[in-house]
Each structure stands twice: as structure tokens, then as C-alpha cells.
Amino acid sequence: MPDQTPPSIVIDDVTLAYGAHRVLDRLSLRVAPGSIYALLGGNGAGKSTTLSTLLGFVAPQSGLVRVAGIDPAADPDTARRRVAYLPENVALYEHLSAVENADYLLALSGEPQPREAIVAAFAAAGLQERAWDQRLGGFSKGMRQKVAIAVALLRAVPVLLLDEPTSGLDPRATADFNRLVGDVRNRGTAVLMVTHDLLSAVDVADRIGFLDGGRIVEEVVATGPDRFDIRALHARFAAPADPVA
């Protein structure tokens, strides 16, 4: 019997333009609960704008957007309470320690966690124990990313949005991150990951969409033990964009 569970993320025939320039051009994609969708595309393809529509920062001129059943343009506060969002450039408090940052941000979201849960998430994200109570002023970009990853993954919400989540991470930390995102998928969260990192997408995604000119030009589903044909995907991702009719 087919799964009747509605998608947690719905973007249906969405168009968004600034003047004559269409940033999103009848874009459609869906992400089911318990699945990971990786959205790949070059600069200017519309990836950041896609995330902005889901967060309610911009409203499309036409089409439908839903986050866990909520229209983020009409009710952004309610929609954002159903989302954990990890931006590429993480804004954290320099004068606070890693634990204090996590404690404050989780309390702000209405989902406080005990120290034990916070440090367990840090350990899972690959942040060394000696850094847990250090101020963030001396942290590298990769260390900051691990703090933000831990905070995002501690939130029990139906949707996780990731913007270049492996930026600044070394290969081992990237592998740790992919494992954590897999754990989040397994608890039923829908994950949309915007990335340039094809290898990370291949490792973790159930579906990969190629965004160009504000629309999905190709979508590939993981199948079989090898999941994806990495050579074919690399050739597709590296190829010059086709002209949009």
C-alpha cells in the first residue's frame, strides 16, 4: 500500500521574480518525512532563495509553499517553530562558551536541553571535549560549524534546512555530520540540504535535485547498494548549463 503521509516540505510551481529577473521559475520539489533531499546548483541558481521561501523571508508571486503544513509567508513564526535551520555562516556569541551558546539558543527556541544532552551532541558532532567550555572567540570556522550542527540536531522538529552544512569541515568531520543527519532522517525528520558538496550529497541523500535557472532540471533517486552513479552525477554537475527555453 502506498505511503499516504503528506510531505513535510512542499514547493509547488513556485515563481519569484525581482523585476524582469526570475529567481525561481515554476520550481517544484517535495521532501517526505524521514528522507534527505540534496539540492545542488551553481551560484545564482536559486538555492538561497528556495531556503528563504521556506523560512518565510520572501513570498513567491505564484505557487504554493508549505512547511509541515504551514504557509511560511502567511504565518512565518509558526512555520519557523517547525524548522531547525543551519546557515552557511553561523551567527554565534563570541563571549559565550560552546555550551552556553547551545544552552541559550535552545532555550530561545523553546526547547531547552540539559548539559548532558548538549555535550553528547557536541561529542557526536566531533567537537573535542576541551572546547565545550571555551569561549567561541578562538574557534575556527569548522569548530563553530560543529556547535551549530549540534544545536540544530538537538531540536525535535519535523523539518531540518541545511545551507552548505559541510563548509569548513574536514573529511572526518563531514563523515560525522553525514552520520548525524542520517540519524535525524531515521527519527522521521524531512531534511533539505543545499550544497556544492557532491560527495557529501551522494553519501547521505535519498534524492538529489539539480537546480538551474530557478527550476529543477534533473532529479536522481538513490537506488541499489551503490545508491548513485557518482561519475555520471559529477559529469552532470560539472556540465555547462543548458539554455532555458
Judge if 78 and 162 occupy the same domain.
yes
- Contact in structure between 146 and 119 (CB atoms under 8 Å): no
188 located within any domain: yes
State which H helix or E strand residue 80 sits in. Answer: helix 76-80
Judge if 173 and 77 occupy the same domain.
yes
Strands 215-221 and 207-212: antiparallel
CA distance 29 to 128: 37
* Helix spans in 18-70 (H): 47-54
Judge if 77 and 175 occupy the same domain.
yes
Question: So what's the pLDDT on residue 243?
Answer: 47
50 located within any domain: yes
Judge if 168 and 236 occupy the same domain.
yes
119 located within any domain: yes
Judge if 94 and 185 occupy the same domain.
no
22, amino acid identity: R
245 located within any domain: no
Question: So what's the pLDDT on residue 2?
Answer: 44
The predicted-structure confidence for 52-67, as pLDDT tens digits, reads as follows 999 999 999 999 999 9
Judge if 47 and 58 occupy the same domain.
yes
* Helix spans in 126-214 (H): 141-154, 171-186, 198-204
* Coil, strand or helix at 102: helix
Judge if 110 and 33 occupy the same domain.
no
**pTM higher than 0.95 for the full model?**
no
Domain count, the chain: 2
Judge if 152 and 177 occupy the same domain.
no
Domain end residue (candidates: 156, 179, 199) = 156
15 located within any domain: yes
Neighbours of 138 (CB within 10 A): 9
- The boundaries of the domain holding residue 214 are 1-82+158-240
Among the listed residues 188, 191, 140, the one whose alpha carbon sits nearest the alpha carbon of residue 165: 191
Judge if 75 and 186 occupy the same domain.
yes
Tens of pLDDT, residue by residue, the chain (245 residues): 345 678 999 999 999 998 888 999 999 999 999 999 999 988 888 999 999 999 999 999 999 999 999 999 999 999 999 999 988 877 899 999 999 999 999 998 888 999 999 999 999 888 899 999 999 998 888 888 889 888 888 888 999 999 988 877 788 888 888 888 888 899 899 999 999 888 889 999 999 999 999 999 999 999 988 888 888 888 877 766 554 43
5 located within any domain: yes
- Contact in structure between 108 and 93 (CB atoms under 8 Å): no
Judge if 44 and 95 occupy the same domain.
no
Domain end residue (candidates: 156, 179, 194) = 156
